[in-house]
C-alpha cells in the first residue's frame, strides 16, 4: 500500500509531486508528505495527516521550492496515521530523506541495533530505519574517504537494501547530491518515467502519465539512479542492468472522472466498453474458439491439464469462483478456488499437470504474488489474469491474459470484475474446445458475448430506478446476499461491494445455506438481496425467498423474468434483460454494484476511498 513518487526536472517539484500523489491516493490516504531539495540546497519537508488536499493546504501556506523532490501517500501499517509517522522520513542529520512503500519485517532488530549506536528514532514506523541506515552507511568512516558523494550514496543504498527483510519500493534524496534521486525495489512496485528534461519514479504510472508514456519497470533487487536526463539501473550488488523502455498506450483522459461524481460510478458505467475490450479480437468464429495467445499453451498442454487451481483475493477471487462453474461445465476440468492468503501457507498439492491461475486487477497484491511464487516454486505452470499491464504478477507468470479494463481507480473493484469473468468465459471456451466442446455451443456463447455490452448498457440506463430502490434501504444495518450456483459468487461480490463502501454489515451465502444458520438473523429490519435470474433452480430460489418473507425480512430480488411469485414475495424487484445463461453472472453484477453505490452515496460515505482500505494491497 502507500504510493510514492519522485521528480527531477526543470520545473517546481512540489505541484508535480502533489498532482502525482493525487493519482496515487487510491493506494492509501491517511497522511501524506513531500521532501524537496530547495534552492538553498537543504532538504525541506512538509507533511500532513489526512488526504492529499490537506497536504496541499500546508504547502500553500508554507511553500517549498526546488526542482527535485520525493513524495508519499500513506496507508498506515506500523504506527498510527499521525503527522510524525507520515513520510518522508529522515536520518539523524536531515541530510537524507526517504519515502517507502512496503513493510520492513526486520525493522525492530535493525532499530535496536541503530539505537544502541546512539541513533534517535522519532516515529513508530518501520520505514524510519531505512533513512537511518542509509545515512549511517553514507557517513561512515570507510565511505567518508570517497570524495564522490554519488558513489557513496549509491553504495549506502545498496548496503542498506541488502540488510532489509520484507518488501519495499523506496526513493531517496540526499542534499549533498541535489541533482539525483535513487530508487530501489524488492516486492513493491516501482516504475521509472522518462520525460523530456525530466525523470520520474513512482509506485505506478498513473502518477506521471500526464508527463510521459516512456516507462521502465524495475524488477526486484534493482536500484536506479536518476538525474534530469539520465538513469542507470543496477542490481543490489551494483552490477549494471540494461532495461527496455516501454511505451504505455493509455492516457490521462482515461483516468479523469469524466464528469461523473465518483470514479466508481464512472467505472461502473464504462462496463459496456470494458467488457467489449476483454473479448474483442479474441473470438475466432470460424474455428469456434477463443484466441488467447498469451497463455502460451499448446493443445497438448491443454489436453494434459488434469486440474486447475485458481487463487486470488477479494473481488478477483469472486471472479475466479464464477470461472470455476463455467470452466468445469464447458471443459470438464476440475477447478479449485482458494484465497491467495490461504493458498500460500497451506502446502497446496500441485502435480505436474496442475495449472495455476492467478487473478488480480492491480497485479501487485502481495498475497496473490506470494501464492504465485509458491506455486511456481512447486513446479506449477502459472498463468495471470491481470488488468495492469507490466505489473509484477503479469511479469512473473509463465503466461497470461490481460483483461484490458483500463485504469480502475475506485477502491471498490467493479469493471475489473466483469472483465475478469469475461476472460474466464473465453478461457473456458478455449480449453473446452480443445477437449471436445461442440462448435455450436462455443459459437452460441461467443455470439451472445458480442451482444452483452448492449444488455449492460440497458441496465445502466435504468440506474435511476435502481437508485430509487437503493435509497429505500439507506438505513439498513445488516444485509444478506443470496444466490445459487454461479450466482453464489455474485452474491459474495454484491455483499463485498455493499460492505466496503457503505459500512453496512453485509454477507453473501449460497441460498440453500440460509436455513443452516444465517436465517436466524432475519427480522423486520434485515435486508436480503436475492439473486434470482431464470434458471433450472429458479423454483428453489423462490422457495428460499419465501423462507425469508415468512420471517418478515425485507427482500430485494434481482431477476430477469417477470414472475408473479417473486413480485408477491419481494418488497422490491430489479428487472434486468435476459442474456445467455453463461453470461448471467456478469450482467447480475451490474445492479449489485449500482445498488451498493447508491446506498453509499445516500449515506454520504467516501465511495472512492472508503475508510481503512486501499486500492492495491501490497502488504501481507
DSSP state of 187: B
Cβ neighbours around 537 below 10 Å, total: 18
Dist. CA 505–CA 494, nearest whole Å = 12
Query: Is 300 known to be catalytic?
Result: no
Known active-site residue 2: yes
Considering only residues 365, 392, 563, 593, which one is a binding residue for ligand M6R as defined by CB under 6 A?
365
617 forms part of the interface with ligand M6R (CB under 6 A): yes
Per the DSSP assignment, residues forming a β-bridge with 101 are 169
* Residue 536: how many other CB atoms lie within 10 Å: 9
- Taking CB under 6 A as the binding criterion, the range among 106-114, 311-319, 479-487, 564-572 that sits at the site for ligand M6R is 311-319
Q: Which of 234, 415, 497, 615 is catalytic?
A: 615
# residues contacting ligand M6R (CB under 6 A): 17
Q: Of 70-78, 222-230, 301-309, 356-364, which segment contacts ligand M6R by CB under 6 A?
A: 356-364
593 binds ligand M6R (CB under 6 A): no
Helix axes 584-602, 415-434, angle to 10 degrees: 170
Residue indicated by cell numbers 467493479: 414
96 near ligand M6R, rule: CB under 6 A: no
From candidates 134, 156, 412, 569, binder to ligand M6R by CB under 6 A: 412
Decide: is 362 part of the binding site for ligand M6R (CB under 6 A): yes
Q: What is the footprint of ligand M6R within residues 494-513 (CB under 6 A)? A: 496, 500
Long-range (24+ apart) CB contacts under 8 A made by 285-291 are 285/443, 285/446, 285/447, 287/433, 288/433, 288/439, 288/440, 288/442, 288/443, 288/446, 289/429, 289/430, 289/433, 289/434, 289/442, 290/426, 290/427, 290/429, 290/430, 290/433, 290/446, 291/430
> Which residue of 52, 275, 290, 316 would you call a contact of ligand M6R, by CB under 6 A?
316
Stretch binding ligand M6R (CB under 6 A), from 95-103, 176-184, 188-196, 411-419: 411-419
- 527-531 and 554-559 beta bridge pairing: parallel
Determine the Cα–Cα distance for residues 73 and 86; give it in Å rounded to an integer: 8
17 binds ligand M6R (CB under 6 A): no
Where does residue 372 rank: exposed (0-12), middle (13-18), buried (19+ CB within 10 A)? buried
Q: Which helix (H) or strand (E) holds 137?
A: helix 128-139
> Rule CB under 6 A: is residue 31 a binding residue for ligand M6R?
no
The correct pick among 90, 313, 372, 579 for binding ligand M6R (CB under 6 A) is 313
Closest CA to 618 of 447, 379, 397, 370: 370
Q: Which of 411, 434, 504, 605 binds ligand M6R (CB under 6 A)?
A: 411
CB of 189 to ligand M6R, least distance (A): 11
> Does 315 interact with ligand M6R (rule: CB under 6 A)?
yes
Quick check: 380 binds ligand M6R (CB under 6 A)? no
Residue from 73, 413, 544, 593 binding ligand M6R (CB under 6 A): 413
* DSSP letters spanning 413-467: --HHHHHHHHHHHHHHHHHHHHTT--HHHHHHHHHHHHHHHHHHHHHHHTHHHHH
The distance in angstroms from the start CA to the end CA of the chain is 10
- Assess 361 for contact with ligand M6R (CB under 6 A): yes
Min CB(566)–ligand M6R separation in Å: 28
Q: Which stretch binds ligand M6R (CB under 6 A): 109-117, 463-471, 558-566, 612-620?
A: 612-620
CA torsion, points 24, 194, 163, 135, in degrees to nearest 10? -90
d(CA 614, CA 410): 9
Catalytic residue among 2, 174, 386, 397: 2
Residue 206 touches ligand M6R, criterion: CB under 6 A? no
Contact residue for ligand M6R among 160, 331, 360, 485 (CB under 6 A): 360
Name the residue number minimizing CB distance to ligand M6R.
314
> What is the set of active-site residues?
2, 615
Residues engaged in binding ligand M6R (CB under 6 A): 313-316, 360-362, 365, 368, 411-413, 496, 500, 613, 616-617
Amino acid at each position: 500500500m502507500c504510493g510514492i513518487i519522485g521528480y527531477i526536472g526543470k520545473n517546481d517539484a512540489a505541484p508535480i509531486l502533489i498532482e502525482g500523489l493525487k493519482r496515487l491516493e487510491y493506494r492509501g490516504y491517511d497522511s501524506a508528505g513531500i521532501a524537496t531539495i530547495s534552492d538553498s540546497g537543504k532538504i525541506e519537508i512538509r507533511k500532513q495527516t489526512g488526504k492529499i488536499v490537506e497536504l496541499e493546504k500546508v504547502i500553500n501556506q508554507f511553500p517549498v521550492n526546488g526542482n527535485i523532490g520525493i513524495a508519499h501517500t500513506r496507508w498506515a501499517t506500523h504506527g498510527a496515521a499521525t503527522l510524525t509517522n507520515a513520510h518522508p522520513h529522515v536520518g539523524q542529520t536531515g541530510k537524507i530523506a526517504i519515502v517507502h512503500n512496503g513493510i520492513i519485517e526486520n525493522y525492530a532488530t535493525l532499530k535496536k541495533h541503530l539505537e544502541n549506536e546512539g541513533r534517535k528514532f522519532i516515529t513508530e514506523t518501520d520505514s524510519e530505519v531505512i533513512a537511518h541506515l542509509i545515512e549511517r552507511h553514507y557517513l561512515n568512516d570507510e565511505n567518508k574517504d570517497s570524495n564522490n558523494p554519488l558513489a557513496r550514496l549509491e553504495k549506502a543504498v545498496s548496503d542498506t537494501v541488502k540488510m532489509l527483510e520484507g518488501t519495499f519500493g523506496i526513493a531517496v534524496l540526499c542534499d549533498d547530491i541535489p541533482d539525483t534521486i535513487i530508487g530501489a525495489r524488492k516486492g513493491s512496485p516501482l516504475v521509472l518515467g522518462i520525460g523530456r528534461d525530466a525523470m520520474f519514479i513512482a509506485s505506478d504510472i498513473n502518477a506521471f502519465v500526464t508527463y510521459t508514456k516512456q516507462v521502465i519497470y524495475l524488477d526486484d533487487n534493482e536500484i536506479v539512479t536518476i538525474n534530469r536526463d539520465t538513469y542507470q539501473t543496477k542490481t543490489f550488488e551494483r552490477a549494471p542492468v540494461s532495461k527496455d523502455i516501454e511505451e504505455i498506450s493509455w492516457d490521462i483522459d482515461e483516468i479523469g472522472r469524466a464528469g461523473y461524481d465518483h470514479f466508481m460510478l464512472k467505472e461502473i458505467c464504462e462496463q459496456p466498453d470494458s467488457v467489449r475490450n476483454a473479448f474483442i479480437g479474441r473470438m475466432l468464429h470460424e474455428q469456434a474458439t477463443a484466441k488467447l495467445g498469451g497463455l502460451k499453451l499448446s493443445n497438448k498442454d491443454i489436453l494434459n491439464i488434469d486440474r486447475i487451481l485458481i487463487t486470488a483475493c477479494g473481488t478477483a477471487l469472486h471472479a475466479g469462483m464464477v470461472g470455476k462453474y463455467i470452466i468445469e461445465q464447458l471443459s470438464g476440468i476440475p477447478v479449485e478456488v482458494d484465497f491467495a492468503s490461504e493458498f500460500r501457507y497451506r502446502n497446496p498439492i500441485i502435480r505436474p499437470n496442475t495449472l495455476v491461475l492467478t487473478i488480480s486487477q492491480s497485479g501487485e497484491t502481495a498475497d496473490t504474488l506470494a501464492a504465485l511464487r509458491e506455486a511456481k516454486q512447486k513446479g506449477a505452470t502459472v498463468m495471470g489474469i491481470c488488468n495492469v499491464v507490466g505489473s509484477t504478477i503479469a511479469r512473473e507468470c509463465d503466461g497470461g491474459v490481460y483483461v484490458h479494463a483500463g485504469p480502475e481507480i475506485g477502491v471498490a473493484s467493479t469493471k475489473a470484475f466483469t472483465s475478469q469473468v469475461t476472460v474466464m468465459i473465453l478461457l473456458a471456451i478455449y480449453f473446452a474446445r480443445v477437449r471436445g466442446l461442440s462448435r455450436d455451443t462455443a459459437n452460441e456463447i461467443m455470439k451472445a458475448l458480442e451482444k452483452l455490452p448492449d444488455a449492460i448498457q440497458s441496465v445502466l440506463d435504468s440506474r435511476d430506478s435502481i437508485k430509487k430502490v437503493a435509497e429505500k434501504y439507506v438505513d439498513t444495518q445488516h444485509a444478506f446476499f443470496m444466490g445459487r450456483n454461479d450466482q453464489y459468487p455474485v452474491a459474495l461480490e454484491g455483499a463485498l461491494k455493499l460492505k466496503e463502501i457503505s459500512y453496512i454489515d453485509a454477507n453473501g451465502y449460497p441460498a440453500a445455506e440460509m436455513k443452516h444458520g444465517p436465517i436466524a438473523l432475519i427480522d423486520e429490519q434485515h435486508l436480503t438481496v436475492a439473486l434470482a435470474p431464470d434458471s433450472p433452480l429458479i423454483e428453489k430460489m423462490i422457495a428460499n425467498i419465501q423462507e425469508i418473507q415468512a420471517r418478515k425480512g425485507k427482500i430485494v430480488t434481482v431477476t430477469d423474468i417477470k414472475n408473479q411469485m417473486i413480485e408477491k414475495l419481494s418488497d422490491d424487484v430489479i428487472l434486468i434483460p435476459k442474456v445467455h445463461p453463461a453470461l448471467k453472472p456478469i450482467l447480475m453484477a451490474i445492479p449489485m454494484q449500482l445498488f451498493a453505490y447508491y446506498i453509499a452515496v445516500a449515506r454520504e460515505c467516501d465511495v472512492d476511498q472508503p475508510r481503512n482500505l486501499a486500492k492495491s494491497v501490497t502488504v501481507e
